[in-house]
Structure 1
C-alpha cells in the first residue's frame, strides 16, 4: 500500500468522523439554555432523580465510561435502563437510551444566585477541556458552562489546569410532596421534540410536564426540562441476538450430515478469521509499524556535545537537533535549583515558574506533553512582540520537557485589566498594546512559511514588559499551515471564532477574531464572559448595531472602561479602535480584515488621538486610582 493511498484512506475516515461530529458541535454552539445558571430552589431534602442520557461515540459507548463520568456504578445505570446484568461489559450502540441516577439537592451558591438545584458531579480537567465543551459534549447539555462557573467561583475558566478537580452541576429537581410523582427525569430537548412526544416517551401527562417546568409551554432546543413520573418507563433496548438452538439428536445419517455441515461452517469461520487476521497484520505492518519506526527514529535524537551518546528514550526532542545551535540547553539540576525544586512560591501561573540562573531571570514552563510542535514553531519566529525562547531542557527520567523563556516583568494583560490592580492603564498605553499585539500577529501570519496560527490569543497570553510593551506568549496550541480542519477543538471560551467551534477550520482569521475580543477588553475593561454567561463580543455587536454615529458615540461612552474617562483623548481614536474590533468579529471569516489592515487602522487611530512627540510612546503612563 503506497503512502498516497494511506493518506487518502486517512483523509476519508477523518472526513467521515468529522461529518458525524459536526452536528453535535453545531448543536453545542447554537444551544439556547433559557436557565443559563441553573434552577433556583428552597427545599431542604435530598432525593434521587434521573438524567436521560444517550450513549455516544467515541468515548461513551459502554456503561463503565458513562458510570465514571457521573460517578456511579454500571449496575446503577443498567438496572433502571432495562439492561440485563449479563450485559454490563457489552459495548452499547450509539444513541442507546439510559437512565443515570442523580443525588439531587438544593445547594447554596452565593448571595447573587441564592440556592440552585443540582447534583454535584466531580470531574477532572483533561487536555483540551473547557467548561463549555464538557457541558455541551460530554454532559450533553445537562448543565451549562455559566452554571459551572457559578459553582466553581475559585476557578478561572480562561486558565484551567490539566488534572484540576471541578464540580459540574447536573440540573435536577426533586418531586413535589404530593401523590403521583416519585421521580423527576432531567431531559434535554431535541430539535425533533414536542410536548406530546416527550410525554409519550416517558408515560407522563403533558400538563404535568408543563406544571413541573413553571408553566412553560414553549420548548427550546437543548434546554433541560423536568419530566415527572410515578415510575421509570421501561426503556426499549436493542434486542440481543439469540444463540443457535442445540442440535436435535437423530439417526446416524443425521449425525453424519450434521457433522459435515458443522465442519463446513467451522472451516468457513476459520477462513474468515484468517482473512481478518491477515488484514490486521497487513495494516499493522504497513501503517502501525511504519509509525513505530518513525517514532523510534525520532526518539533516537541526541543532544550533540551536550549529552553525546545519551538516548533520550522519549518523544520530546523529535527533529529538533537544528535547535541546538540556536538555544541554550539547560540541565535539569539548573532548573530545579533556580525554582527551589519548582516550589509554589516560584509559580507564576499554570505550570510556569520564575527562576534565576547565572544572574538572569527566566520564565520556566514545565510540560508533561510533547513540546515538539511548540519548539518547531518557536525556532522559526523572532520578533520583539513575541516572548523569546531562551532555551530548553529534557528530563528523560520524569519524561518532562522544560521551555525556558525570557521573563516579562509586568505580567499578563489580563491581570492589569481584570484583577483589581491599584494602577490602571491609560488609553494611550492600551492602544499601543493593541498595536503591539497586531504587529506580533502580522509577523507570524505574513512573515513565516508556512504561516503560523496562534489559536489561543487572549489577554492572559499577552505579557507586558517593563515599558508596558506587549508580547504574545504561549504557542502551545499554535499550528503551522492554513485552512486545516481539526476535530479536536481547543481554546478559551469567549475568544473562539464561530467557524472554528462549528467546523474546526483553522486559519489566521481565527486569530483575527480573538484579537477583536482582546481589543474589546482593552476598550471596555470588561471580562469576555460576564456573570450571566453572556459573551463580550456578542454584547458589543448588539450594542453598536446602529447607523447613527451620535447614538453610537453615546453608547460607547456608557460602555467603555470608566478609568479611560478620567483622561483627555480623542473620541475619534476610540471610535476607530471600536470599528476595528467589530470588523474583526464578523461571522464570515472572509469579511474580517487582514492583520496588515488592522495594524494600519490602529496606527491611524493612534495618530488621531495623541501627539507622540512630547514624551514618546515608550514612556508609559498609568492612572492612579
Structure 2
C-alpha cells in the first residue's frame, strides 16, 4: 500500500515565504514567474477532451476541514465521492490533520474574455462568510489549488476589498484534461497537485506512481513552491488512512494533586458555572421561541396581504401603495441577499414579455446590463419557493439572482441565472443533429444526484423537490447539469397531502396513492431520469404507459446474459455506435431499478446513489475511441 507523505502545514507565515526568496535571489531569477491566473485550454471543446472528471490532491486541515462533509461542501461533491478514491473506510469518520485525499473535480475549459482567453478549471461556487477574502479562501480553504488573482479574474463584478457576506463567488480550482497523447499512453487522469517545499520532479513522480518525463511534458520544466501542477497517472494510487489522535491527556502526577479544599472549591465553581450556562440556555431558548413566533406572525401578514391583494385584483382595483410597501418590506427582509429588480427593468429586458423571448412555460430570456437571465413570471404563490431557495446554494442547482414584485398586476418575478444549453429533455428527445454520448450522460446523472443529495442531506428541514424530470434539468455552457424549478418543492418530509401535483410518468406510487411526501419520491423520479438517459425514450409513451413500469418488468427475471441482451434492445440507438462498457451501462441500470422500487423504504438514499454512480464512472471507457473525447455524437 502506497502512503502519500504529509506536506508542510498550510498556514506558512508570509514572512518565511519572503525570506526564502530574499536569501535565494539567483534561484528566484532562474525560475519563471508563477502562474497566477490559470492555465490555457482550447476554447473549442469539441474533440479536445474537455470537459472531464479528474482529481485534486487535498489534505484535511484544522479547524474547519477535518471531516468529509465540510470538504465535500467546499468542493460541491458528496462524502462518498471523496471516501471511495481516498481509501477512507467510512464517509462519516473524523480525519486526522493532513490526511491525504483525492477530491473529484469536473474540469472544463472556460472562456473568460479576449485578454485571458480560455482557462482550464473546475467551476466551484463558494458563499462568502464573515472575514473571508479571496486570498484567505484560495490559500487556506482550497490550500493553494487556486490563486486569489484567478478568483478576481473570474469574478469581475465582485470587489475583492469589499465582499458582501452571503454572495456567491466562483473559485476556479486549477485542473487539466488529458490530451490525445496522454490518453494513448494510458495516462487518463491528471491529478492537480500543489508543489511543496523540497519537492522535485522525481519525488513527486515517486509519490504518485508517475514518470518524471510525463510530469515535465504535462507542465512547465521549472515550477515554484505552491504552484499547481498536473501529475499524469493511469490510476489513482492507494492512500493510507492516518490514525486520529483520540488519546486522553496524561494523568497528573501525585505532586500536582489538589487538596480536599481545592476540590471543594472546584466543585463549587463548576456548580456556579453550570448554573450560569443553564440560565444562558434558557435565555437563548426564550429568544428562539420569540423569534419563531415573530416569523410566523410576519408570514401570516405576508399571506394575509397576498389574499387581500388577490381579492383586490379580482375586483379590478389596485392595491394601495401602503400595502405594496408593506409586502415588499416583508419579502425583502427574507431575501436581503438577492437583488431586487424593477418591473420596468424586466419588461425592457424581455421586450415587453414578447413571445419571442419565451423559453418555456412562463420563463422568459432577458438581458439586463449585458447579463442574460431567465425570468420566471408567477402569481402571488412565489413565497414558498423563495423561502426554500434561500436555504440552498450548490453548483448543481440553478442559482436565483433576484426577484421583482409587481403589485399592479399581482405578479411576482423570479430572476435566475441563464443556463445556455437548455434542458436535458431537449437533448434526449427532440430532433437534434448531435446527441450526448454515454460518458456525458453519466456525468449529467452524477451532477443531478449531487444536487439532490445536497438538498436531501444538507438542508434543515430537508427539502423535497417533488418535480424531478428531464425538462427540469438544465445544461450549462460546460454541459454541467443543474436542477431547476423549485415551484413544487416542500421543506420538510413525511407529510401527507391530498393535493397531488407532479408530472405523469415521474410520480412515485406512494405519493400518488397516499400523498406521502418524502425524499424517496425524488429518488424514484431520478430513477426515471436514469432510464431516459439509458434508453433515450420519454417517461411516458403515446398510449400513456409509464416507461418505468415496462422496463422494471423487462428486467425482473432472467440470467445476466439474457438481461444484457435486453439492455442492448432497450439502449438508445445513438449509444450503440460507442465503445462504452456494458459493465457501466448495467451498473447504472441497476441503480435506476433500485431507485424505482415500489417500497420507498427499500430505495437507496441519494448518498448511496452518488457513490454507486461514481463507481459506474470508473467501470471503464475505451479512451482510444475518438467518439469518447467529445461530449456529443452524431444522431444519425
TM-score of the two chains, using structure 2 as the length reference: 0.49
Q: Mark the structure with the bigger radius of gyration.
A: 1
Higher relative contact order (CA 8 A, sep 6+): 2
TM-score of the two chains, using structure 1 as the length reference: 0.50
